[in-house]
Structure 1
Amino acid sequence: MSDITRGADDPAAEGWAETWNVALDVGGSGSRLVAELKHGPEPERIQLEGRPVRILPTGSDASEVVASLCRSFTAWAARTGQPGDPAREGRPHVSAAAVGVTGLTSLVPSPGEVHDVLARELFTNRTAVAGDALTAHLGALRGRAGAVLAVGTGAVAFSFDRSGRWHRADGWGHLLGDLGAGVWIGGEALRAATAAHDGRPRGGSKRLLDAALARLGPVPSWPAQLYMSADRARKLASFTPEVMRAAQEGDEMSQRILHEAGKHLATTLATALAPGIPALASTTGRLVQEESPLTRSLAENLAEERPDVQLVPSAGTPLDGALHLARRLAEVPAKVVGYRPWLTVRIDGRGAAGGPADMGADTLVAELSATELPVDRADRHNLPGHPYGQHGPARPSGDAS
């Protein structure tokens, strides 16, 4: 590779010619890492695959997945003869790293540990750890103001306005929310199955009962299988493809469930489009990737609730959003400010190898436009040495928990 000429004001230069931005997407169905080297008119990019996170009694093992993927990247660099930095034990020079993590606010024991892993494995002192719903927003709208609805096992909508304030709707988990998501659809399907099993005059589906019996066995065993499972939400959501198939085959109850799911999701998205949010929206996630009764219901009901909203296709994935975040962290770190607990940022808050905090280099103030990363205004008063990095406790506007 030829050297890259960088200006003296380039924060990633540090006298090193070739630097990488690294992004990760860590989820329940798998994990991915993309590393990008700006090299000529088109950046050079490699992508690696990793295992899904596991849910343990102590929470998610996301930090272990992040460590494994980072090691895969450095091993790839060594194997392919990429230039290494002697100051970083011969590893490739990484300007910044960002990761989007599933279950960040509920299942990850310590986001700070994920920061530590990125710093230790990649020898970088610019790291961002975000919820995957937030990186989904950045990927879908490329950082533009508006709202994005992420639909998978759960459902959550994020938006931000031209003042940089975040807003959130749903994302409260299957006991309190996630209305219209996979877990909700699966739960409604099994209720329809038990109604058919009981012989109730309304609300049953013989088609869904047959499918559930084939998957779960005798009905009396279902409560123990679900109530005693540490992975109940995912088990319920795994039944959603069967509901999709049954709806295509003409099962009226399945069609009704998907229609109601679309109504719930439209309401969630409309709620996120609070006053002051541009009327621009998108959806992302495996349940809305293809046209279905669910997506048609969502679009129709959103048009009824908010006829002014422009619903656009997603411009990218959560991994694209994480890469967008890493790029900005490398290029304009002063414009990347945390929104706790959905986004925490470290910039020179610790040494590249996880050393002590630099008490004098981590207080940043950002002024953002509608096309830049959102900022929690309450997070302006940064406290160096905070366990999560350079930011002190935030009092976010909107509904973030």
Structure 2
Amino acid sequence: MSWVLGVDSGGSGLRAALADAGDLTGHGARAGTGGPRNGSVALPYAAAASSREPVRTGSAGIDAGHLLEQLVPMARDLLERAGAGRLSAVVIGAAGMATLGGPLRAELPAALESALGVRRLVLAADAVTAYAGALGSRAGAVVAVGTGTIALGTDLTVWRRADGWGHLLGDCGSGAWIGRAGLEAGLRAHDGRRGGSAVLLDRMESVFGPASKLPGFLYPRSDRPAVLAAFAPDVARCASDDPVAAAILARAAGHIAEAAAAVCPPPDEVPDGCEVALTGGLLKLGEPLLGPLRRELAGQLPHARQVASAGDPLSGALRLAGELAAGELRLPAHPTLLHVPGGTRPGDCQDPNR
């Protein structure tokens, strides 16, 4: 057996799954045709584990020591539970890898080889493992929409990236963006300015208290994006009765489609047509967002096919680990988005912001 480990490190903690690479054969991502939704194709794995403690991030970037403290015992336990031997390949997908992953790229290869005997390793941005979970190793575009928004596309030669700039500079159409727009509309109504919504003002005050106290509650918080995103479902619930809330979701759909259009390979690069998938918790808002999103994708990407996401970032990490073990990694390497330690592959010198 060839044992592989997929790891997903994000804001809600660390998850890992162990599988026999042979069992992953034939379970490539399969796309549906029902438009943007978040389906799931279960991958066969021998054991899984998770921690609710997010890996710390410091001034130097993601804390490699803290990740190792959680991952190494978790991996050893998974191997023991499965009666497995040495790992053939490990793929770690981590939030912030592209911009804050320097310590991981510097420390993990030697540390994991010493602790677990790992020789084949990939360190990927969580957007890349989300891509692999959604589309596998096919050309196309994936937009991950949750608290933030980031889009990745590839023709299997280079990566294209759009947004993912955070709630102050971007993440347009995300949960944080929708929540902030809803709160602004409520405050406009409170002030008597144009563009306000009495419905959203009422909902805002029922959640956060008096409007005058909202800045003092929100601005000092370090988790502002999550607090803003928590109001997005309230905006969606108001959309059927409030044209301002409906317009906010329509604008969000336009931003998400713009990100997809920015990264989708053009028709001359993908003769069979570009596949576009969406993934992430924001899709749970349902038809108030998905209805306008289908229309925007059809209008902005008439040459693309909207397909269902096949799986989540953890399944994407497992898929990539299976390919890595077999020496068949097809997605393009990149110095920060998909880093293959000790190996140079086409695309290693790309601009990470393309």
Query: Per-residue displacement from partner, 1:190-226 (whole Å, max 9, x unpaired)?
Result: 10121122122x2222332233223333333322333
State the partner residue of 1:169. 162
Residues 81 and 234 (structure 1), Cα distance of their counterparts in 2 relative to 1, 3 Å cut: closer
Residues 199 and 23 (structure 1), Cα distance of their counterparts in 2 relative to 1, 3 Å cut: same
2:170 aligned counterpart, secondary structure: coil
Q: How far apart are 1:40 and its partner, in Å?
A: 7.3
Aligned pair 1:195/2:161, yes or no? no
Q: How far apart are 1:178 and its partner, in Å?
A: 1.0
State the partner residue of 1:127. 121
How is 1:244-263 mapped onto 2 (pairs within 5 angstroms)?
A: 244-248=236-240, 250-263=241-254
Q: How far apart are 1:165 and its partner, in Å?
A: 1.4
* TM-score, structure 1 as length reference: 0.74
Please tell me whether the aligned partners of residues 49 and 78 of structure 2 are also in contact (alpha carbons under 8 angstroms): no
Aligned pair 1:283/2:274, yes or no? no
* TM-score, structure 2 as length reference: 0.83
How is 1:323-334 mapped onto 2 (pairs within 5 angstroms)?
A: 323-332=318-327
Q: How far apart are 1:142 and its partner, in Å?
A: 1.1
**Number of residue pairs aligned between Structure 1 and Structure 2:** 330
- Given the alignment, which residue of 19, 36, 47 partners 2:2? 19
CA distance in 2, matches of 1:40, 1:151: 30
Query: Per-residue displacement from partner, 1:52-77 (whole Å, max 9, x unpaired)?
Result: 52665535557624541441231244
- Given the alignment, which residue of 294, 297, 301 partners 1:306? 301
CA distance in 2, matches of 1:286, 1:255: 19
CA distance in 2, matches of 1:152, 1:62: 25
| Structure 1 range deviating more: 253-262 or 99-108 | 99-108
Q: 5+ residue gaps in structure 2?
A: 26-43
Aligned pair 1:144/2:144, yes or no? no
Aligned pair 1:341/2:341, yes or no? no
CA distance in 2, matches of 1:39, 1:266: 37
Residues 71 and 56 (structure 1), Cα distance of their counterparts in 2 relative to 1, 3 Å cut: same
2:181 aligned counterpart, secondary structure: helix
Which entry has the higher C-alpha Rg, 1 or 2? 1
2:298 aligned counterpart, secondary structure: helix
CA distance in 2, matches of 1:55, 1:229: 17
Please tell me whether the aligned partners of residues 31 and 52 of structure 1 are also in contact (alpha carbons under 8 angstroms): yes
Q: How far apart are 1:38 and its partner, in Å?
A: 4.5
Please tell me whether the aligned partners of residues 49 and 69 of structure 1 are also in contact (alpha carbons under 8 angstroms): no
Please tell me whether the aligned partners of residues 30 and 49 of structure 1 are also in contact (alpha carbons under 8 angstroms): yes
CA distance in 1, matches of 2:160, 2:76: 37
Q: 5+ residue gaps in structure 1?
A: 1-17, 84-91, 350-361, 366-374, 380-393
Please tell me whether the aligned partners of residues 192 and 208 of structure 1 are also in contact (alpha carbons under 8 angstroms): yes
- Given the alignment, which residue of 67, 70, 76 partners 1:68? 70
CA distance in 2, matches of 1:19, 1:191: 53
Residues 141 and 297 (structure 1), Cα distance of their counterparts in 2 relative to 1, 3 Å cut: same
| Structure 1 range deviating more: 251-260 or 138-147 | 251-260
Aligned pair 1:224/2:224, yes or no? no
Higher helix share: 2
State the partner residue of 2:312. 317
2:303 aligned counterpart, secondary structure: coil
Residues 148 and 23 (structure 1), Cα distance of their counterparts in 2 relative to 1, 3 Å cut: same
Q: Which has the higher contact order (CA 8 A, sep 6+)?
A: 2
The Cα RMSD (Å) is 2.7
Identity value in percent: 37
Query: Per-residue displacement from partner, 1:251-277 (whole Å, max 9, x unpaired)?
Result: 322211111100111111112124325
CA distance in 2, matches of 1:19, 1:128: 16
How is 1:51-130 mapped onto 2 (pairs within 5 angstroms)?
A: 51-53=52-54, 58=59, 60-61=62-63, 64-65=66-67, 67-78=69-80, 80=81, 82-83=83-84, 92-108=85-101, 110-112=103-105, 113-116=107-110, 118-130=112-124
Q: How far apart are 1:303 and its partner, in Å?
A: 0.8
